[in-house]
């Protein structure tokens, strides 16, 4: 599986990124993969490789590139519960500087770069994300409805907030099909209801599903939250979504 480390030109500098794609010398649909708060690391690189093995060009940008190349914060091989609070404490200043304005500027750059790669075919891309990356994927799709045909978010965060530009308020702009795979503690039932109501009102094709027996972070095998059956369910939902929405040569 070919992989590359790339530099994406942005209005604020150069974003380092990991890319994986099939080794078949042809063009493939593009997938922009937004990481969780822990960022680009072997776990996400392996996720990209596995997805690329199904016929996609997968681009995983370092969301914190303004602060340095990945990993901006040194991470243990396994992010167990005993070290998680300290790691999160180091990451929170980076998360808090990642404003909506920056997210949207970066989304422009990431999508433009992805679709310009010689291994990426014509046609729409997908935006997928984990944890806070789910909200970034939703914002990207809402800002680029002509370029993003699928959105998937897993153990999402920050989809329903009190902010005027909360992602759930942006769904009228979506043309993408959406799948959200939640754990039982990702969002309150009221927030899930509010999100579903917004998606229904906008006429968006979507599924929101609570994956049984999971906690936040269930797809990540380098954390204590990992749930192998839920990771498989994630693939069982994600691959059909991409298969029916993206153009395969």
d(CA 168, CA 206): 13
Peptide bond into 71 cis (omega under 30): yes
Mean pLDDT of the region 110-130: 97
Residue with the larger pLDDT of the pair 234 and 25: 234
pLDDT value at residue 81: 95
Task: Provide the pairing of β-strand 125-130 with 57-61.
Answer: unpaired
CB 155 within 8 A of CB 214: yes
**Encoded tokens for 82:** 């005993």
**Encoded tokens for 42:** 């072997």
Residue-wise pLDDT tens digits, 189-208: 999 999 999 999 999 999 99
- Which residues span the domain enclosing 141? 3-245
Residue % of the chain over a pLDDT of 70 = 100
Start-end of H helices in 41-99: 42-52, 84-96
Q: CB 9: neighbour CB atoms within 10 A?
A: 11
Count of domains observed in the chain: 1
**Encoded tokens for 9:** 């030109």
Residue-wise pLDDT tens digits, 14-72: 999 999 999 888 999 999 999 999 999 999 999 999 999 999 999 999 999 999 999 99
d(CA 135, CA 37): 12
Q: CB 169: neighbour CB atoms within 10 A?
A: 15
DSSP-derived 3-state class of residue 203: coil
Mean pLDDT of the region 152-158: 97
pLDDT value at residue 1: 84
Q: To which H or E segment does residue 69 belong? A: none
* CATH at residue 233: 3.40.50.1820
Q: Please provide the DSSP assignment of 121-188 as one string.
A: PSS-EEEEEETHHHHHHHHHHHH-TTTEEEEEEES--SSS-SSTT-GGGGGGG--SEEEEEE-TTTS-
Q: CB 103: neighbour CB atoms within 10 A?
A: 17
Confidence check: pLDDT of 153 > 80: yes
């Amino acid at each position: 599986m070919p992989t590359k480390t790339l530099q994406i030109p942005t209005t604020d500098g150069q974003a380092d990124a990991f890319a994986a794609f099939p080794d078949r010398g042809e063009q493939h649909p593009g997938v922009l993969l937004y990481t969780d708060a822990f960022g680009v690391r072997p776990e996400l690189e392996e996720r990209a490789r596995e997805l690329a093995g199904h016929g996609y060009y997968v681009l995983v940008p370092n969301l914190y590139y303004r602060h340095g190349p990945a990993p901006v914060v040194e991470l243990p091989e396994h992010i167990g519960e005993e070290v998680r609070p300290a790691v999160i404490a180091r990451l929170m200043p980076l998360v808090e500087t990642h404003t909506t304005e920056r997210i949207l500027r970066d989304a422009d750059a990431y999508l433009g770069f992805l679709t310009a790669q010689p291994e990426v075919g014509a046609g729409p891309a997908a935006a997928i994300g984990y944890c806070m990356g789910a909200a970034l994927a939703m914002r990207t799709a809402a800002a680029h409805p002509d370029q993003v045909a699928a959105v998937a978010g897993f153990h999402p965060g920050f989809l329903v907030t009190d902010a005027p530009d909360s992602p759930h308020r942006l769904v009228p702009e979506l043309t993408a099909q959406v799948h959200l795979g939640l754990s039982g503690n990702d969002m309150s039932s009221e927030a899930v209801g509010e999100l579903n109501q917004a998606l229904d009102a906008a006429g968006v094709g979507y599924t929101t599903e609570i994956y049984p027996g999971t906690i936040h972070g269930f797809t990540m095998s380098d954390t204590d939250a990992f749930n192998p059956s839920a990771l498989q369910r994630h693939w069982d939902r994600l691959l059909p979504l991409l298969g029916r929405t993206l153009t395969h040569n």
